[in-house]
Amino acid sequence: MRTYLECIPCFIKQSLEAACMATDDEKIQTEVLKKVMKHLQNISFTNSPPELSREVHQIIKRITESKDPYKKVKGQSNEMAKKQYPYLKKLVTESDDPLLMAIKLSIVGNVIDFGTMNRLNVDDMIDNAVKREFDTSSYSQFKRALEHSETILFLADNTGEIFFDKVLLEELVEKQKQITYVVKANPIINDATVEDAYLAGIDKLATIIDGDSGQKQSAPGMILSYASKEFLDIFESSDMVISKGQGNYEGLSDVDRDVFFMLVVKCPLVAQDIGSEVGKIILKAK
């Protein structure tokens, strides 16, 4: 998915948010905005939003001298979601279709996102997942793919959200699937890293890798041109690929292989591209 003019205000708003998290110094915050706005004057709109966000956050980190501006809110997200996990597990266990419920809850976890302008309420979304149906047109395709798959590549998205992923991973492990769980090599917005995945106990369910190992700066979404050889090999060889979140959708929506995208739509441009509405929980087969 390419970048649009409407993406520019989001980059600027996110830059100010990150700068304010990194420092209280208004002069530094002002410098961040000026440098980001100057950089955005010369971008290529053919690049995906995650690739441009990667560049923007390099600027933010350099000027603020902060390696992880979102560190505090990431910790809060993990603590909040960790407390939710027993309830999520109960919902799955008591469901008439545990796999479908686990998918819906994993998607609902995607609302925990400081990388977008639209912030949604997690408790409300959990209730909606339980009470409401969502577009299940890709669910039968998902089940068929799962039935014929032994190896699954699972691209994670945000901190906190990983505890919502956990209930789905447990369902996949019960079906004796071998899972590789992909996180970021470096802190970027509130995306999950290897440390976060171990905190959530994902290592007991899947092999954890960082998909952009060797890169000094990660992007908030998988960009194949920056991916590690290890990731690319697994991406090509896995029987099934599950991709979480808007960033991964933006980075992989045009790739030449089958992918199941799971996300909450939080951006009108993504809604337009994916053919849905803001606020919808999406399972989409590509």
Q: What is the pLDDT of residue 131?
A: 72
Q: Sheet holding 178-183: strands in order across?
A: 207-210, 178-183, 151-155, 240-244, 260-264, 281-285
Identify whether the C-beta of residue 260 lies closer than 8 Å to the C-beta of residue 283.
Answer: yes
SS3 154: strand
Identify whether the C-beta of residue 157 lies closer than 8 Å to the C-beta of residue 242.
Answer: no
Q: What is the pLDDT of residue 135?
A: 73
pTM given for the model: 0.93
Identify whether the C-beta of residue 35 lies closer than 8 Å to the C-beta of residue 61.
Answer: no
Q: What is the pLDDT of residue 144?
A: 96
Neighbour-count burial of 129, counting CB atoms closer than 10 A to its CB (0-12 exposed, 13-18 middle, 19+ buried): buried
Q: What is the pLDDT of residue 286?
A: 86
Residues 165 and 53 in one domain: no
Give the CATH number of the domain where residue 183 resides.
3.40.50.10880
Exposed e or buried b for every residue in 228-257, given b needs 16+ CB within 10 A?
Answer: beebeebbeebebbbbbbbbbbbbbbeeee
Is there a domain that residue 74 lies in? no
Residues 171 and 35 in one domain: no
Residues 224 and 89 in one domain: yes
Is there a domain that residue 56 lies in? yes
Q: What is the pLDDT of residue 142?
A: 97
Residues 100 and 43 in one domain: no
pLDDT tier, 117 (very low <50, low <70, confident <90, very high otherwise): very low
Q: What is the pLDDT of residues 154-177, one digit of tens each?
A: 999 999 999 999 999 999 999 999
SS3 257: coil
DSSP 6: T
Residue 260: pLDDT above 50? yes
Q: What is the pLDDT of residues 53-100, one digit of tens each?
A: 999 999 999 999 999 999 999 999 999 899 999 999 999 999 999 999
Is there a domain that residue 105 lies in? yes
Domain range for 25:
7-64
Mean pLDDT of 197-225: 94
Residue 43: pLDDT above 90? yes
Residue 118: pLDDT above 60? no
Identify whether the C-beta of residue 11 lies closer than 8 Å to the C-beta of residue 32.
Answer: no
Q: What is the pLDDT of residue 214?
A: 81
Identify whether the C-beta of residue 252 lies closer than 8 Å to the C-beta of residue 222.
Answer: yes
**Domains of the chain: total:** 2
Neighbour-count burial of 280, counting CB atoms closer than 10 A to its CB (0-12 exposed, 13-18 middle, 19+ buried): middle
Neighbour-count burial of 50, counting CB atoms closer than 10 A to its CB (0-12 exposed, 13-18 middle, 19+ buried): buried
